[in-house]
């Protein structure tokens, strides 16, 4: 195995171990979306149309929380603690480090999508996803895009104490607008316009089509393009503004 | 590859942060196997200098060579050969010292044995404790251990013993001396004069981004050749006089005192300590 890959693999294993040792992170990553799914599912139980909307929505939200939210938190925390600075001084290629960190986030997303898919099948009367390939494509592009946006957004957060406020100021409105637009065709036009321009609603559209049945990948290329564009913007900002150290101001 | 040039060569180094000139032309050469101390008050430019040598900061001007590399390019070959103890750097709160050392060791071509480094750093009995349960001193020793595990030939220590109790400080000094005995080159910043005096082969005193004096601690400074004779007069007042010829001065002093039938209380002959030189040099004019 090439050395950079081997170091990336070691970094990944370390990130996994650290993730499971931090019970609150594990809770927010896994249990919270599942609790939302379970409680909303209980309320909507018996209404298959609503359940068909709920499961893909939660899946989309999971992608955002395991990548955007988790990485924004992580980067700010590690930067403020000086862990990033220490890593930077070590003979670890930046690609190996970020590869390991990203693979950790992807693992969490994959686990969550799997759990949500199984819950949809077992508890909420959905079938197995109709288009597996489409599901994987959307989740993959969504993961990369939201991960980049999370790292980019970390630059805007001044310190760890304010991370929750900053992240929620983005996460909650995006989730709210996207869920509303996805669920309701009667929502005002501007809501649809906003939601379609943001990356979450297109992701939910794609995941929904793949899971519940709808157009296959060819019918949702525009949605995929919106997510990819956000990802490209995120990647540009993530790389350009990246800081290994807390500024001293 | 054998290269015998100096470990570090710095010429006319400048660093500007906006309008603020942090370094105003610093020249330093550190030989292989030397322990080099950078001494100065807070904000003098010590950390800026080492962080440029470590590759954390880019210089504004001048030339820098560390083990033959330009640290601003951050070549991985250089990072494999240096060890860094930062003034403050964190670690994952849930990691144990043993795990951290194993993880870091894997990045180097010829790491030291992890158990040996744990013992050397005095962390053997805390090897499996989570980092968040370690004391400040233990975390500092983990910093040391992580810098040493790659068996680097050049080690940067930025205020390595700040916050240590006297015992831990002595232990750290012993570790630094043992590294020196292994032929390692060490660059250390400190604001403790006794630390520089005890450890460094040569010291540079830095203030306001300039080197004020550089040399072995014992003959540093403008008054280096001088001796200082001190005594108390009849009124109990402490008098001091600097001289190049203490033998003659003592002879004259004692002769006069005997003639007057006085004792010279607290008579002493000393050389200016590094502290005297330091205070003299760094005093605001």
Rounded to whole angstroms, the Cα distance separating B209 from A200 reads: 51
Question: Is residue B18 scored above 70 in pLDDT?
Answer: yes
For every residue of B144-188, DSSP letters joined together read: HHHHHTT--SEEEEESTTTT--HHHHHHHHHHHHHHHHTT-EEEE
Model confidence pLDDT, tens digit, residues A191-236: 888 988 899 999 998 888 888 877 677 778 888 999 999 999 999 9
Note the pLDDT of residue B1.
Answer: 46
> CA triplet A105, A109, A114: central angle to 5 degrees?
150
Give contacts of B133 with chain A, Cβ < 8 Å. Answer: none
Give contacts of B94 with chain A, Cβ < 8 Å. Answer: 17-18, 21-22
CB-nearest partner of A7 from B84, B89, B106: B106
Note the pLDDT of residue A24.
Answer: 76
Residue of A nearest to B102 (CA): A10
Q: Strands B265-270, B227-232: parallel, antiparallel or unpaired by DSSP?
A: antiparallel
A164: left (phi over 0), alpha (psi -120 to 50) or beta: alpha
Model confidence pLDDT, tens digit, residues B67-104: 999 999 999 999 999 999 998 889 999 999 999 999 99
> CA triplet B250, B255, B261: central angle to 5 degrees?
125
Q: Identify the segments of chain A with pLDDT beneath 50.
A: 249
The reply to whether A93 touches chain B by the CB within 8 Å rule is: yes
Rounded to whole angstroms, the Cα distance separating B211 from B28 reads: 9
Question: Is residue B267 scored above 50 in pLDDT?
Answer: yes
Give contacts of B56 with chain A, Cβ < 8 Å. Answer: 85, 88-89, 245
Rounded to whole angstroms, the Cα distance separating B141 from B135 reads: 10
* Yes or no, beta carbons of A81 and B94 under 8 Å apart: no
Write the ipTM. Answer: 0.85
- Percent of residues, chain A, with pLDDT higher than 90: 45
Model confidence pLDDT, tens digit, residues B218-256: 767 545 557 888 888 888 888 888 888 888 888 998 998
Note the pLDDT of residue B3.
Answer: 59
Note the pLDDT of residue A249.
Answer: 47
Average pLDDT for residues B148-173, to the nearest whole number?
90
The candidate with the shortest Cα–Cα distance to A175, out of A103, A68, A81, is: A68
Query: Hey, how many other C-beta atoms are within 10 angstroms of the C-beta on B133?
Result: 10
Residues of B (135-174) whose Cβ lies below 8 Å from A: 146, 150
Phi, psi of A192 (to 5 degrees): -65, -40
Note the pLDDT of residue B234.
Answer: 81
Residue that has been written with the tokens 């793949």 in this structure: A210
């Amino acid at each position: 195995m090439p050395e950079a890959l081997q170091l990336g693999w070691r970094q990944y294993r370390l990130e996994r171990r650290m993730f499971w040792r931090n019970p609150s992170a594990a809770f927010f990553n896994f249990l919270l979306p599942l609790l939302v799914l379970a409680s909303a599912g209980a309320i909507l139980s018996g209404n298959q149309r609503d359940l068909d909307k709920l499961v893909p929505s939660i899946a989309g939200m999971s992608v955002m929380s395991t990548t955007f939210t988790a990485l924004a938190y992580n980067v700010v925390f590690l930067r403020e603690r000086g862990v990033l600075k220490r890593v930077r001084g070590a003979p670890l290629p930046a690609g190996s480090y970020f590869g390991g960190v990203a693979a950790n986030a992807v693992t969490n997303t994959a686990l969550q999508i799997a759990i949500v898919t199984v819950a949809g099948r077992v508890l909420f009367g959905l079938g197995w996803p109709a288009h597996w390939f489409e599901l994987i494509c959307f989740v993959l592009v969504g993961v990369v895009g939201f991960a980049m946006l999370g790292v980019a957004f970390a630059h805007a957060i001044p310190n760890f104490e304010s991370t929750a406020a900053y992240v929620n100021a983005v996460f909650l409105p995006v989730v709210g607008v996207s869920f509303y637009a996805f669920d309701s065709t009667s929502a005002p036009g501007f809501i649809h316009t906003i939601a379609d321009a943001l990356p979450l609603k297109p992701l939910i559209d794609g995941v929904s089509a793949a899971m519940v049945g709808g157009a296959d990948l060819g019918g949702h290329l525009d949605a995929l393009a919106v997510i990819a564009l956000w990802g490209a913007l995120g990647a540009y900002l993530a790389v350009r503004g990246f800081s290994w150290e807390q500024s001293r101001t | 590859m054998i290269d015998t040039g100096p470990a570090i060569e710095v010429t006319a180094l400048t660093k500007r942060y906006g309008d603020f000139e942090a370094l105003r032309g610093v020249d330093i050469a550190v030989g292989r196997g030397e322990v080099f101390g950078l001494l100065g008050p807070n904000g003098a430019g010590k950390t800026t200098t080492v962080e440029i040598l470590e590759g954390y900061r880019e210089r504004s001007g001048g030339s820098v060579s560390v083990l033959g590399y330009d640290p601003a390019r951050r070549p991985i070959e250089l990072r494999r050969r240096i060890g860094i103890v930062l003034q403050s750097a964190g670690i994952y709160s849930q990691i144990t010292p043993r795990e951290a050392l194993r993880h870091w060791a894997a990045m180097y071509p010829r790491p030291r044995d992890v158990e040996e480094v744990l013992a050397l750093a005095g962390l053997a009995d805390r090897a499996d404790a989570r980092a968040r349960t370690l004391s400040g001193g233990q975390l500092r020793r983990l910093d040391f251990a992580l810098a040493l595990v790659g068996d680097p030939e050049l080690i940067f220590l930025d205020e390595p013993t700040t916050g240590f109790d006297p015992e831990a400080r002595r232990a750290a000094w012993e570790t630094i001396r043992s590294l020196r005995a292994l032929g390692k080159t060490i660059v250390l910043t400190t604001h403790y004069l006794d630390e520089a005096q005890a450890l460094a082969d040569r010291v540079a005193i830095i203030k306001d981004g300039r080197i004020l004096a550089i040399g072995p601690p014992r003959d540093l400074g403008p008054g280096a050749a001088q001796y200082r004779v001190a005594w108390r007069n009849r009124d109990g007042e402490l008098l001091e006089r600097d001289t190049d010829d203490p033998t003659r001065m003592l002879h004259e002093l004692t002769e006069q005192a005997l003639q007057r039938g006085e004792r010279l209380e607290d008579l002493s002959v000393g050389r200016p300590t590094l502290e005297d030189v330091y205070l003299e040099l760094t005093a605001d004019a």
